[in-house]
Amino acid sequence: MGTFSRPLNHTDVGILGPRSNSARKYSRGKSINLVFRRCSVGILSGAVASIALTASLRYGLWSLLLGISIGVAYSITAPPGRRAYADNLMAAGALGIPLWGLISVVAIPLLSRQMPEWSAEQMRQHFPALVGWVVYGALLGIIKQGMDDIAEHFFGADSPPETPAVSIKKRIVILGGGFAGMRTAECLERRLRGDFSTGITLVNETNALLFTPMLAEVAGSSLEPSHISTPLRTTLRRTEFIRGVVAEVDLGRRLVILRGDEATSGASARRHVPYDHLVFALGSTSNYLGMTNLEKFAFNFKTLLDAIRIRNRVIEMFERADRESDPNLRSALLTFVIAGGGFAGVEVAGALNDFAHGILADYPNLSSHDLNIILVHSRERILPELSESLATFAQEKMQSRGVSFRLSTRILDAHHGAVLLSDGKIQTRTLVWTAGSTPSPFLKSLPFEKDRRGALLVDGSLAVPGHPGLWAIGDCAAIIDAATGQPCPPTAQFALREAEVLADNILAQIRGRPSRTFHFNSLGALCVVGHQTACAELNVPFARRKTLRFSGLFAWLLWRGIYLAKLPGLERKIRVLMDWTIELFFPRDIVQTIDVS
Ligand SMILES: Cc1cc2nc3c(=O)[nH]c(=O)nc-3n(C[C@H](O)[C@H](O)[C@H](O)COP(=O)(O)OP(=O)(O)OC[C@H]3O[C@@H](n4cnc5c(N)ncnc54)[C@H](O)[C@@H]3O)c2cc1C
């Protein structure tokens, strides 16, 4: 395709900063090998911070070596940013929690030939180590930042200043700004540092990445909705972001056509986005298997708006039930049915159960006997992704807290305030659907081969076969793992790794190098089942038993630590931490924010 010119504009200069000064400094800095510099910063900051580990773990030399190794890994993977003290303090401090879980609770007992235990008593014994790890992380973050600043002062910038070229020779367009799309853009930005001959554009229908693992907490009123969404414009530095809905792809002219904005420019004003490489990362939507009544009646559970609607619906039902004198009607209003016993269904059932019981105190006319949270699942047991013992634990725990289960039961239809099941009927005004999902319906318009779910078939390098320059990843792609020959599951964990391989392969193709195939070993799975309880199944490569299974408070702490560390952006991390802290001391918020009556 042709060459696209992009004039240097005011924003480019603003983002990249003054060129000449940093370029001069960088040329001085070139004399110091980059890896050596980051390793040195990591060794020094890890060594100083390991004082906290030595004090809490009691393994003197080992604590020092551990502290240094983690310091080096952190310094290499977290690129220096100028005076980002708070950012590093939070990120490395939060990292202390999963490190505590993996090293103090799991690895150290295993290395001492003991099985890890997570009884309340054991957890109490591990508590000083938790404090030690968090302090170590916080110290590591601050000291590393200080050393990065000192190194920059004496040796110049760590990485080459980004010098914008005026002529774009290749244009990579990414459709979808979820986990897969955003990580692809991030990886491309990193790998194209200093090379402006390739342009990156990301198109998404919302202007933020939704952190779906925390969506159930929004539905359960634990987290503020915007706190789990990261703005794409601010996170991506050199990628051109377009908020728009993809309406069509003109494969012949290599153009993406966006839906026109009728309100401002008329339906005909469709924007055309040219591409040389096009990435489909459009995710998935709820699938009602052709049951149109259900589609009209049920609440989806995929987007931020879905979670906001569900939260408001629960409050609306409480308000109506509070003034309802007919006990049958009151019971129907306070019956919440969740379809699907996978991760999303279990997490939302647990969150709604906590929420509903938590706000009962605000409704003096209602009692817990009026409440029904029912999970309907077509198979014999919930959480088929986890082992049977963990699924049984999850079910028993939830039952003891008031959730009922209708297993081996299908939802067939819904009407007149009732849900029809394969073995009966439930009077309810609220059904949340998590029982099926399907790759983005937009893919139907594309003349490519798909699997039976409708996901785009790709080859081992994540390319659409027979269509050079077209790629697909994430939930909308059917990907076979190159090493195991197994289909990759539609999870964020896989989408993120696929994006990294994809970014490499696109650049390899542009530069005429061979591409690599996709392989990833799942790290495991974590599922929150309600109040301070989770189930975890982790694949630990160094353990004799490859899979570690545990549940309860420790798994829940690990869940929070890992996902807080993974949530993009310091500001979001702080907001979520504050929400979690507020939740410890105050009742859940029952203010209605939208009308869902
Ligand atoms: C409630 C819930 C909890 C989950 N928890 C976990 C978890 O704990 N761990 C885990 O690994 N996975 C989890 N997942 C799965 C995970 O969210 C998905 O696998 C992941 O989001 C897939 O990433 P993606 O980029 O392919 O799709 P998405 O993240 O869905 O992104 C697709 C993007 O494309 C946009 N888009 C779609 N159509 C168009 C269009 N026509 N024009 C413009 N933009 C469009 C969408 O708005 C969206 O932003 C969870 C999912 C849900 C729903």
Residue 259 CA to ligand 1 centre (angstroms): 21
End-to-end CA distance of the chain, in Å? Answer: 52
- Gyration radius (Cα) of the chain, Å: 26
Token couple for 394: 């999850």
Q: What is the mean pLDDT of residues 333-340?
A: 98
Q: Which residue has the higher pLDDT, 572 or 448?
A: 448
> Nearest residue CA, atom 1 of ligand 1?
344
pLDDT value at 240 more than 80? yes
> Nearest residue CA, atom 23 of ligand 1?
179
Residue 181 CA to ligand 1 centre (angstroms): 10
Model pLDDT, residue 79: 73
- Which residues line the pocket of ligand 1, CB cutoff 6 A? 176-181, 203-206, 212-213, 215, 245-246, 281-283, 301-302, 343-344, 440, 442, 474-476, 490-493, 495
Q: Which residue has the higher pLDDT, 561 or 398?
A: 398
pLDDT in tens, 449-482: 999 999 999 999 999 999 999 999 999 999 999 9
Domain pair 167-205+244-285+439-510 / 292-436+526-585, same fold:
yes
Residue 476 CA to ligand 1 centre (angstroms): 9
**CATH of region 167-205+244-285+439-510:** 3.50.50.60
Model pLDDT, residue 270: 82
Q: What is the mean pLDDT of residues 118-137?
A: 81
Instruction: Indicate which atom in ligand 1 lies nearest the CA of residue 526.
Output: 8
Q: Supply φ then ψ for residue 566, to 5 degrees.
A: -85, -20
pLDDT value at 22 more than 90? no
Instruction: Indicate which atom in ligand 1 lies nearest the CA of residue 492.
Output: 11
pLDDT in tens, 357-377: 999 999 999 999 999 999 999
Burial class (CB in 10 A: 0-12, 13-18, 19+), 247: middle
> Nearest residue CA, atom 15 of ligand 1?
491
Nearest to 56 by CA among 120, 139, 118: 139
Residue 490 CA to ligand 1 centre (angstroms): 9
Identify the three-state secondary structure at position 55: helix
pLDDT value at 80 more than 90? no
> Nearest residue CA, atom 7 of ligand 1?
213
Residue % of the chain over a pLDDT of 90? 66
Residue 295 CA to ligand 1 centre (angstroms): 20
Instruction: Indicate which atom in ligand 1 lies nearest the CA of residue 490.
Output: 19
pLDDT band at 12; cut points 50, 70, 90: very low
> Nearest residue CA, atom 30 of ligand 1?
283
Residue 456 CA to ligand 1 centre (angstroms): 16
pLDDT in tens, 475-525: 999 999 999 999 999 999 999 999 999 999 999 999 999 999 999 999 999
For 79-83, 247-251, 298-302, 576-580, which range has the lowest pLDDT when averaged over its residues? 79-83
Ligand 1 probe mutation, 173, 183, 258, 282, most atoms within 8 A of CB: 282
> For the chain, what's the residue count?
597
Residue 499 CA to ligand 1 centre (angstroms): 13
Model pLDDT, residue 6: 39
Q: Where are the domains of the chain?
A: 18-155, 167-205+244-285+439-510, 292-436+526-585
> Nearest residue CA, atom 35 of ligand 1?
176
Model pLDDT, residue 265: 55
Model pLDDT, residue 264: 57
Residue 438 CA to ligand 1 centre (angstroms): 11
The chain-wide mean pLDDT, for the chain, equals 88
In the block, tokens 């929070």 appear at 560
Q: Which residue has the higher pLDDT, 160 or 234?
A: 234
Instruction: Indicate which atom in ligand 1 lies nearest the CA of residue 302.
Output: 53
pLDDT in tens, 311-322: 999 999 999 999
In DSSP terms, 36 is beta-bridged to none
Residue 391 CA to ligand 1 centre (angstroms): 24
Residue 284 CA to ligand 1 centre (angstroms): 6
Ligand 1 probe mutation, 442, 443, 475, most atoms within 8 A of CB: 475
Instruction: Indicate which atom in ligand 1 lies nearest the CA of residue 442.
Output: 41
With 0.85 as the threshold, say if the pTM is over it: no
In the block, tokens 């129907």 appear at 332
CATH match for 292-436+526-585 among 3.40.50.300, 3.60.21.10, 3.20.190.10, 3.50.50.100: 3.50.50.100
Instruction: Give the up-direction half-sphere exposure of residue 79: CA atoms within 13 A in the CB hemisphere.
Output: 7
pLDDT in tens, 181-201: 999 999 999 999 888 899 999
Strands 335-339 and 372-376: parallel
Residue partners of 95: CB distance under 8 A and separation at least 6? 74, 137, 561, 565
Residue 178 CA to ligand 1 centre (angstroms): 5
pLDDT value at 152 more than 50? yes
pLDDT in tens, 45-63: 999 999 888 888 777 788 8
Residue 497 CA to ligand 1 centre (angstroms): 14
Nearest to 100 by CA among 133, 145, 131: 133
Model pLDDT, residue 59: 76
pLDDT value at 78 more than 50? yes
Token couple for 193: 């540092």
> Nearest residue CA, atom 48 of ligand 1?
178
Residue 139 CA to ligand 1 centre (angstroms): 35
Ligand 1 probe mutation, 175, 183, 202, 204, most atoms within 8 A of CB: 204
Instruction: Indicate which atom in ligand 1 lies nearest the CA of residue 179.
Output: 25
